[in-house]
Amino acid sequence: MFAIIGGTGMTQLSCLEISHREIVRTPYGEPSSPLTFGRIKKLDIVFLARHGYGNTIPPHLVNYRANLWAIHSLNPTRVVSVASVGGIRADLTPGKIVIPDQIVDHTYGREFTYSDNTDKPVTHIDFTKPYSEITRGYILKAAKLENQEIIDGGVYAATQGPRLETAAEINMLEREGVDMVGMTGMPESALAKELGLHYATIAVVANYAAGRGTNTHAVRLEDVHDILEKAMVGVRTILEGVVELDGY
Ligand code: HPA
């Protein structure tokens, strides 16, 4: 079983031959959406829409703990999440696909750990490398095999949202070493790590971050839908390749 978490721009997976949907309950409540089970290239897949199938759940209200718990209960081989980001680094222009290798957390007030209200001894997960290197490698290899342009590595900052950032906040993030900014990477990646999942993210640049590129005065949101729709064609091709690599 291979798991995919879809974000903005990917609430459905058109390459998936769907077999059934299942509402899963977890000790942390219900996930954002029923899990969709199906096959890609004859291999078993489970898909979860992070913001719900109608894209109605904002980043700060996503039940990340329930989402990851539900996926973990299926004992998946790998988990690939798809997330849209604003590009800060000069080469991260709208439409680019990038596989981050580091993350910085600027979120607050979210349920961010499974180590709550337990009487177990305190544990600290190692988070030096937040993403699974093997899963990242599969994504990069699949992109190469499928002739899809992809950027290897970058620092992702998770902001609280749902508002976009100020230009000064983006300048601050850049000084911190951040290359791209999104709203869902945390606590998702840390929870995946707590559960021992082999998790990595495919980030799709939806827009220049505030104050960057053509967005010196305002972030143009009119183009985001078309940019994501186009880029997701490439993402789906890469996902098909990753599933195939994982299955054989
Ligand atoms: N900022 C934060 N999150 C985002 C952005 C952005 O500019 N674009 C897509 N997700």
CA of 228 to the centre of ligand 1 (A): 12
Best residue among 51, 96, 159, 164 to mutate for probing ligand 1, ranked by most atoms within 8 Å of CB: 164
Cα 206 from chain centre: 13
- Judged by DSSP in three states, 37 sits in strand
pLDDT of residue 49: 95
Res. 158: pLDDT tops 90:
yes
Are 105 and 188 a contacting pair, CB within 8 Å? no
Quote the mean pLDDT of the chain: 94
Strand extents, DSSP E, 26-71? 35-40, 43-49
In this prediction, residues 36-52 reach a mean pLDDT of 93
The amino acid present at 227, given as its one-letter code, is I
Are 172 and 148 a contacting pair, CB within 8 Å? no
Q: Which atom of ligand 1 lies at the shortest distance from residue 182's CA?
A: 3
Q: What is the pLDDT of residues 171-226, one digit of tens each?
A: 999 999 999 999 999 999 999 999 999 999 999 999 999 999 988 888 888 889 99
Q: Which atom of ligand 1 lies at the shortest distance from residue 83's CA?
A: 10
- Identify the residues whose C-beta falls under 6 Å from ligand 1: 84-86, 159, 164-165, 181-183, 206-207, 209
Instruction: Select from 51, 26, 24 the least CA-distant residue to 36.
Output: 24
Q: How far apart are CA 173 and CA 168, in angstroms?
A: 9
Q: What is the pLDDT of residues 90-146, one digit of tens each?
A: 999 999 999 999 999 999 999 999 998 778 888 889 999 999 999 999 999 999 999
Binned at pLDDT 50, 70 and 90, residue 66 comes out as very high
pLDDT of residue 18: 87
CATH assignment of 2-246, given 3.40.50.920, 3.30.230.10, 3.40.50.1580, 3.40.50.970? 3.40.50.1580
CA of 180 to the centre of ligand 1 (A): 8
Q: What is the pLDDT of residues 187-199, one digit of tens each?
A: 999 999 999 999 9
**Nearest residue (CA) to ligand 1, atom 7:** 86
Q: Which atom of ligand 1 lies at the shortest distance from residue 59's CA?
A: 3
- pTM comes to 0.96
DSSP H helical ranges for 45-102? 64-72
Res. 12: pLDDT tops 80:
no
